[in-house]
Chains A and B, each alone.
Chain A
Amino acid sequence: MSRVHIEAIINGEPAEFLTAAHETLLVALRESVGLTGTKEGCSTGDCGACSVILDGRLVPACLVLAAEAQGRHITTIEGIARGDALHPIQQKFLEGAALQCGICTPGFIVAAKVLLDANPNPTEEQARYWLAGNLCRCTGYDKIIRAVLDAAAEMRKAMA
C-alpha cells in the first residue's frame, strides 16, 4: 500500500509522519504521531470526542483525512496546557469534577478553548449550543458547562 509523507505543525512543533490515503487524522495522530489524548468515540462525526483544531477551526479528526494535514497547523489536547501549567479550562474541569470516565473530556476541552478564544464571555445557552456536538454519557453536562463558564470568568479576570 502506498504511503503518503506528511509534514505539518502539530501543537506548535514541526511534525512528520507516514499515512495511507484513506487514513483519518484521528488514526494518524494516535498511531503514527503517538498523540493518544485525542479519543475515538463514534468515528462518524457525531460525538466530538476527537475534536482538534485545524488551521483555527474546530473539526472532528475522524472526518479529516490525515493526508489533508500537509502544511496545516493542528492543535490537539496535548497542546492546550502551557508546559506544566494547566489551561484554566483543564483546571476547572478538575476542580469541578466535570468528568467521570474521561473519554469525552479532551474533545470538550479543545472545543471549549475554541469557544473562549472567540467569545470570552459566552452565555450558558451559547456554551451549550457550541458544545452540543460533544457527547458525554456520564456527567449529564451540568458540571461541564459550569467548568467552561468558570474558566471563562477566570480567564477574563486574568485579562483584566
Chain B
Amino acid sequence: MQAVRYEAPSSVSEAIRLIQADPGASVLAGGTDLLVQCRSGFKQPTAFIDVKRIPELSGIAIDAQGLRLGAATCAAEIGEHRELKRRWPGLAEAVALIGSTQIQGRGSVGGNLCNASPAADTPCALIVNRAECVIAGPSGERTVAVEHFSAGPGRTALTRGELLVAIRIPHPATFTSDAYLRLTPRSEMDIAVVGAAVSLTFDAHGICTAARVALAAVAPTPLLVPEAGRALVGTRVNDEALARAAAAASAAARPIDDKRGTVTYRRQVAGVLTRRAAAIACRRARGN
C-alpha cells in the first residue's frame, strides 16, 4: 500500500473540508468493511478520515422527535440501549445479527448503510421504521429516506464532499412494532441469503392501519415492498392476509443466483420471512 494519511477531525465541517479536498480519501467509521477492502486491494484510499471523534456521529439520543443515531455509533452500543430495544425491537435484532462480538464493537449502522451491500441487515429495519439519513455537505444539511440512500452495490446517494452524520427515526405510533428476520445457513457469522423487515401499526380494535415491508438480498438495493404492506392494511393480519403479503413479497423480489442462494429459492424465502416477520411484529404491536 502507498503512503496514506490518517486524519481524525473533531467537527463535521472539518471532516467535510478534508473529504472535499481529497477525492481519494475514504471515511473510516468502524473499519469492518473498509479495512478489509483495503487489505484485499479492492480499495486504495489516499487518506483515512476517521469520523469517530466527531461528537455528532457518536451516540444514541431519544427526544421529542424520535431516535437520533450517530452514524458511527458501534453496534454493541446500540445493543446495550434498553429504550431503543424496547421501541424498535426489529431494528435492534437487525443490528445484533451483524458479525461477531468483536465486529459489533466496531461496526456501525452508518457504515452498514455506506457500504451499500444488497445483503445488509440494518437498512431494511430502518426503512420499515421510516428512518431518514441526515447528510452534511459543503452546501449544508439534507435528509434522504433510507430507502433512497443505496444506489446499488457499493454506491450511495452521497455526492462528493458529503458525510452521513446520523440516522433519524420518528417515534412509533401507539400499537406499532417491528421485526427483522434473515435466513443464513449458519446461526452466527454469516451473510443474509434473504432478510425481511416488517413494521405494523394497529388501531384500538386490532385492525392494521399501516404496514411497511422491506427485503434484503433480493435486489441490488434494499427493497421497500408497498404491495406487501397494502396486503396487510385493513386486516387483522390473519393467515389469509399474511399469505397475500408473502405472495406480494415473493413477486417483488428480483434476486440473483449466487453462492448463497438461487433466484427460485430466494423468491420463496422472501415470502416465508415476510410472513413470519409480520406475525412477530403483529404480536409485539398488540402487546404494546
Contact B102 A133 (CB under 8 A): yes
Find chain A residues with CB under 8 A from B39 CB. Answer: 43-44
A2-B5, A24-B35, A44-B39 known; A57 vs B74 contact (CB < 8 Å)? yes
Is A1 an interface position by the 8 A CB rule?
Answer: yes
Find chain B residues with CB under 8 A from A149 CB. Answer: none
State in angstroms the CA–CA spacing of A48 and B48 once bound together.
Answer: 24
Among residues 33 to 69 in chain A, which have CB atoms less than 8 Å away from a CB atom of chain B?
43-46, 48, 51, 54, 57-60, 62-65, 67-68
Contact B5 A45 (CB under 8 A): no
Find chain A residues with CB under 8 A from B74 CB. Answer: 57
| CB of B114 to closest CB in A, whole Å | 16
Per the CB 8 Å criterion, the residue count for chain B at the interface is 31
Contact B36 A21 (CB under 8 A): no
Among residues 71 to 99 in chain A, which have CB atoms less than 8 Å away from a CB atom of chain B?
none
Contact B103 A60 (CB under 8 A): yes
Find chain B residues with CB under 8 A from A67 CB. Answer: 6, 8, 48, 50
State in angstroms the CA–CA spacing of A60 and B39 once bound together.
Answer: 15
Is B208 an interface position by the 8 A CB rule?
Answer: no
Is A138 an interface position by the 8 A CB rule?
Answer: no
Q: Report which of B3, B40, B48, B101 forms a contact with A1, defined as CB distance below 8 A.
A: B3
**Closest Cβ neighbor of A61 among chain B residues:** B102
Task: Write out, one digit per residue, whether chain B residues 224-252 have a CB within 8 A of any chain A CB (1) or not (0).
Answer: 00000000000000000000000000000
State in angstroms the CA–CA spacing of A22 and B189 once bound together.
Answer: 26
| CB of A22 to closest CB in B, whole Å | 5
**Closest Cβ neighbor of B50 among chain A residues:** A68
| CB of A24 to closest CB in B, whole Å | 7
A59-B106, A65-B31, A129-B188 known; A2 vs B100 contact (CB < 8 Å)? no
State in angstroms the CA–CA spacing of A32 and B35 once bound together.
Answer: 20
Among residues 103 to 140 in chain A, which have CB atoms less than 8 Å away from a CB atom of chain B?
111, 114-115, 129-134
Find chain B residues with CB under 8 A from A48 CB. Answer: 100, 102
State in angstroms the CA–CA spacing of A48 and B100 once bound together.
Answer: 9
Interface size class of A (residues with CB under 8 A): 20 to 34
Find chain B residues with CB under 8 A from A63 CB. Answer: 30-32, 35-36, 103, 106
Find chain A residues with CB under 8 A from B106 CB. Answer: 45, 57, 59-60, 63-64
Q: Report which of A22, A44, A131, A134 forms a contact with B48, defined as CB distance below 8 A.
A: A22
A21-B48, A63-B35, A65-B28 known; A58 vs B5 contact (CB < 8 Å)? no
Is B62 an interface position by the 8 A CB rule?
Answer: no
Contact B1 A22 (CB under 8 A): yes
A63-B106, A133-B102 known; A21 vs B5 contact (CB < 8 Å)? yes
Contact B38 A132 (CB under 8 A): no
Contact B102 A59 (CB under 8 A): yes
Q: Report which of B35, B36, B101 forms a contact with A58, defined as CB distance below 8 A.
A: B101
Is A4 an interface position by the 8 A CB rule?
Answer: yes
Is B105 an interface position by the 8 A CB rule?
Answer: yes
A63-B36, A68-B50 known; A4 vs B6 contact (CB < 8 Å)? yes
Contact B189 A133 (CB under 8 A): yes
State in angstroms the CA–CA spacing of A22 and B101 once bound together.
Answer: 24
Find chain B residues with CB under 8 A from A134 CB. Answer: 100
Contact A54 B105 (CB under 8 A): yes
Which 10 residue pairs are nearest across A and B when measured between Cβ atoms?
A: A133-B100, A21-B6, A132-B188, A57-B105, A67-B6, A1-B3, A59-B105, A60-B102, A21-B4, A44-B36
| 19 extra interface residue pairs, beta carbon distance < 8 Å, beyond A22-B1, A64-B31, A65-B35 | A2-B3, A21-B3, A21-B4, A21-B5, A21-B47, A21-B48, A22-B4, A45-B32, A45-B100, A45-B102, A48-B102, A51-B102, A59-B102, A63-B30, A65-B6, A68-B50, A131-B101, A132-B187, A133-B188
17 contacts between A and B (CB under 8 A): A22-B4, A44-B36, A45-B99, A46-B189, A57-B76, A57-B105, A59-B102, A59-B105, A60-B106, A63-B35, A64-B31, A68-B8, A129-B188, A131-B101, A132-B100, A133-B99, A133-B189
Question: Measuring CB to CB, which residues of chain B are less than 8 angstroms from any residue of chain A?
Answer: 1, 3-6, 8, 28, 30-32, 35-36, 38-40, 47-48, 50, 52, 74, 76, 99-103, 105-106, 187-189
